[in-house]
Structure 1
Amino acid sequence: MTRTFVMGDPQAPFDKILEVLDRHDALDGDRVASDVVLVSIGDHFDYDLKDPAGAGREGLRLLRWLASHDPEHVYLLFGNHDASRVMELALLDDAEFTRARLLARSIDDTEHGEGKPAAKARVLAEFRPAFPALPAPGVVGRDYAAYTTEQRALVAELLLAGRFHIALTGELRDGRTALLTHAGVTSRELALLGQPGPTPDAIAAALEAFLGAAIERVRDDWSCGTYTPLSLAPLHVTGGDGEEGGGLLYHRPSNPDRPDADPAWALAPTRPRRFDPRTLPRGLTQVAGHSGHAKCVHELGEWVCDSARARKHGGIRTLRVDGDTVTYDLGVAPPADGVADMILVDGELRRVPAHEVSLLQLARVVG
């Protein structure tokens, strides 16, 4: 009998990923077991700011290993950290990126030592003129600090070969069919897609066609070794020219009414960094990564149940919208009519011990 697992955001050393899989009896030696289907929810790079070079090598090792399995054995979803290699960072070679990262780290030191005004002055005087295509120092100094051109080449190769998906559908063990994406789909994305049918299959097909068309626009350039940046606009908008990216692979659920919310930034129409859960399509069950538990507890405010608030990191969780009532709790919520459910599987692998990491088990991948 085949077992199917969804692994959230595998941003961790390769051996730790193997340990997690082994604890779920999902390995046969150093390979995914033949009776297991594995779905990686995306984000295969960037987990260690103290050793970005080492983290970069581990990310390459992991992604190559996952991709060495047959496409129906291991499915790869496309996350924002994967996308950045062929989007925001696509035009940077290793030397340029290292220079940008070192400058970003220096500006960060200035902020901690002299304050934000001094750091902002350096951004305007030094970083922006040197790297006008990058949105902010944090992109290279923190978010995507492990980047290398070798990663860029691998991500492009896998996209050209059709190994990366932007959406899949799967059947939960309770019989529901769910849409699987890296960060979730809201009414915004459905509107931009031209309102595909309300089923997970129809939405996944529309998203996959959108990604496929974007890849075709750069196929000739990439095949010749010219890494023209991939564009998924307007669904997912990359950062650049001093503005952060937003949309499909970037957004996270957030309570716009919590005391420290900044709706003008978070919900910017063309590049949202957050989304109000009440914009999730009703009647749709989703599985997504991207948003770890600690981040959700902060962002969702009063919508967090006491049992969820008591947990520090990790775990499988459900964000449910029933009418205008939003709840965030641990585990997979049971089926209910007319609700929007988002099952969140980012296990915060960089922080949680391998023996505490949970994988979401599905009945099967539908396609």
Structure 2
Amino acid sequence: MRALRSSTVAAIAVAATLTAVAGCAEKNDSKGGGGKGAVEVTASDTACELSKKEFPAGHVRFAVKNKGSKVTEVYIYAAGDRIVTERENIGPGTSTEITAEIKAGSYEVACKPGMKGDGIRQKVTATGKGGAAVKRDPKLDAAVAAYRKYVQEQADETLPLAQKFADAVKDGDVDAAKKAYAVSRIGWERTEPVAESFGDIDPKVDIREDGLKKGQKWTGWHKLEKSLWETKKISGDDEKLADKLIEDLKDWKKRVGTAEINPTTMANGAKELLDEVYTGKVTGEEERYSHTDLVDFKANVEGAQKAYELLKPVAKKNDPALVKELDRQFTAIGELLDEYREGDGFVSYDTVSKADQKKLSDGVSALAEPISKLAAAVVTAK
């Protein structure tokens, strides 16, 4: 979900708290200097400066420093705005490090002050012949294969659930559509970074109204969510949008098998899923009409945990202390979420107090900080 944040007072208050939490996590995310060989990215409110614009293909470290006054995010784009990796919620005055597996070719590094828009971009080149010359533990090849299978399964399982939702919309059955809505989104939320990597699918199916670009028509789940919970009626346009949602999800299902997946995209994707939680779910921004945020929250955590568990054998060999901490934090966030269960799902998020929202945000931050180190752990042989 890529959208501008709401300007409501309540959302700003929660976002301010989360920015502070995220900033603390990012300070611990690197040692600040970047280290020998890192591409240093200096972001500000008006610039995105790089220490080098050409570097060898392979495992590349980007040492990011935000010297601006706004929370920023950094993206690495391949041709066609395909997302290679990203890092959100880099607070003012904080640093972070991103490790990515980059093949030879041309890319763009984008800094996005305020976490919006196309960003301030710099062209870079990864040099070398053919693909990235990366020596990989065979266990990591197995992890990538297993994760690719998992992502495809999530797409395959989403389609019938989304079809049930779309059919209820087309039948004009508001209650049935509401019941089917959150469940239809679980597979997407578990694997969202892979879907977002294509660049064009996410804006069609999962964008918020305030994230629309000029001239862009609002389509997807959240447009229908607004009709169901705010206007409480289904229009002829909504029925057409239900068909469009299925069409776009079928495109996702067809293309997901071609996604660029490697150990670092898996690890960074796990971090991105946690970023999704504390920028959208904990603030209540994601499901602002249905208040089903905790369903998404759980799915994001499950997706992050799946990637982690597949990478765990290699990470444990390289950084056993990190694995111990991640095991502890995944258990903790699971137990915390269980406190808000209701029947087969979760309580409506608008019933969760600000104090409990803060508790959830702290739990996410405690997990996000160590998960940000997973990519480095799986590419650093010991």
- Shared fold per TM-score greater than 0.5: no
* TM-score after normalising by structure 1: 0.26
TM-score w.r.t. the length of structure 2 is: 0.25
